[in-house]
Amino acid sequence: MADLGIPQNTIAVLQKYNFVFQKKFGQNFLIDSHVLEKIVDAAQITNEDCVLEIGPGIGTMTQYLAESAREVVAVEIDRALIPILQDTLSAYDNVTVLNEDIMKVDVGRMVQERNQGRPIKVVANLPYYITTPIVMSLLENHVPLQSITIMVQKEVADRMQVGPGTKDYGALSLAVQYYARPEVVARVPANCFMPRPGVDSTVIRLSRYQEPLVKVQDEKHLFALIRASFNQRRKTLANGLANGLGISREQVTTALEEMGLSATVRGEALTLEQFAELSNLLKKHSSVS
């Protein structure tokens, strides 16, 4: 089977099927075998693993995954790619291609059926416009998974791993770090893709914690609090929460004082642990849910 990590093989497949790139699906196919090997290595795929690949495209990374994994389930939204995938993956009997929108797939059920409920590994070269919703859906829905190894826009990877006081720190940083340990695997320049995107990319691995690092009484309340804190970054935390969640400034100020923090502190200064403590205190002091 032709290695699609080699650009001329990708071009040959696209020409054979007269494939037209769909902007609405954010399609950029990886054409660098070194990067593909790095991704599979970083995902630590073994012959015992069931891998969920999101957005296989023409099957470039799917081929590499199929060589290492016990089973690969590849979810592709673009119907035009299905006959191509049937062709490029015909040599592999351990790959199932689903023509579905990943946001509508019951991944938990898939894990039960394909992997007896044991955690899977997710690998993806994601369309950048939908990176965050897909990652958060996998994490928030408590899908049994060991890790998510994904190609994302460089800025998104930066946001996933930074800490308090930096300009990239925000709701995504806290949400990802609540559930998983982020680790940058590789920086990938735009010329490794076809067509060439306007931005550089990063491969990042999110290793799922068995238990979140912080103890919080109400996860939903914590994340509502975090979102409200960053919706208006220039506002103090007390004002942001009063506007966004309808919690009185007095309640917030009292909780912050209990934590030894200034009443004028901004959300971007708080660590995940401090947000969890604040959430627990506000739950204790009020009936806000």
Q: Are residues 16 and 85 in the same domain?
A: yes
Where a domain ends, among 208, 237, 264? 208
Query: Does residue 18 fall inside a structural domain?
Result: yes
Residues 35 and 60: their CA atoms lie apart, in Å, by: 11
Q: Are residues 51 and 192 in the same domain?
A: yes
Q: Are residues 144 and 262 in the same domain?
A: no
Low-confidence ranges of the chain (pLDDT < 50): 288-289
Q: Are residues 180 and 58 in the same domain?
A: yes
**Residue 285 CA to chain centroid, in angstroms?**
34
Question: What CATH number has the domain bearing residue 187?
Answer: 3.40.50.150
pLDDT of residue 286: 67
pLDDT of residue 1: 66
pLDDT of residue 287: 54
Q: Are residues 105 and 231 in the same domain?
A: no
pTM of the model: 0.91
Torsion of CA 180, 120, 126, 1, to 10 degrees: 140
Where a domain ends, among 208, 236, 256? 208
Domain residues for the domain of 52 are 7-208
The total domain count for the chain is 2
> Phi/psi zone of residue 181: left (φ > 0), alpha (ψ -120 to 50 degrees), beta?
beta
pLDDT of residue 12: 92
pLDDT of residue 71: 98
Where a domain ends, among 208, 229, 244? 208
pLDDT of residue 197: 85
Q: Are residues 132 and 224 in the same domain?
A: no
Asked whether the beta carbons of 277 and 225 are under 8 A apart, the reply is no
Residue whose tokens read 């826009």: 153
Query: Does residue 141 fall inside a structural domain?
Result: yes
Q: Are residues 259 and 125 in the same domain?
A: no
Q: Are residues 271 and 132 in the same domain?
A: no
pLDDT of residue 187: 95
pLDDT digits (tens, 9 = 90+) for 277-288: 999 999 887 654
Question: What CATH number has the domain bearing residue 244?
Answer: 1.10.8.100
